[in-house]
């Protein structure tokens, strides 16, 4: 078997590899960030629903809407 010199990585080939690694590394992170953001949004929506559906808040909203609809010019 002939003795071969070690393979050298040329700059254009190396820069393409670095770019490819950077792009693929970010791909998984964005998926995880979307998942965490979706869970946080669902938790906030559940909390907001719980607050708005409480009797005290419903009474306040009803009074506010009635006061807004029953205004008279004067």
pLDDT tens digits, 16-25:
766 666 666 6
Q: Which of 28, 47, 51, 29 is nearest to 39 (CA)?
A: 47
Q: Are 74 and 68 in contact (CB under 8 A)?
A: no
Instruction: Give residue 30's pLDDT band: very low, low, confident or very high (50, 70, 90).
Output: confident
Lowest mean pLDDT among 23-27, 34-38, 60-64: 23-27
CB neighbour list of residue 51: distance below 8 Å, 6 or more residues apart: 57
Mean pLDDT taken over the chain: 79
pLDDT exceeds cutoff 60 at 43: yes
């Amino acid at each position: 078997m002939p003795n071969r010199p070690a393979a050298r990585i040329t700059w254009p080939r190396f820069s393409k590899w670095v770019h490819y690694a950077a792009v693929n590394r970010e791909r998984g992170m964005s998926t995880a960030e979307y998942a965490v953001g979706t869970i946080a949004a669902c938790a906030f929506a559940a909390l907001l629903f719980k607050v708005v559906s409480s009797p005290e808040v419903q009474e306040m909203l009803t009074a506010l809407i009635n006061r807004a609809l029953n205004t008279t010019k004067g």
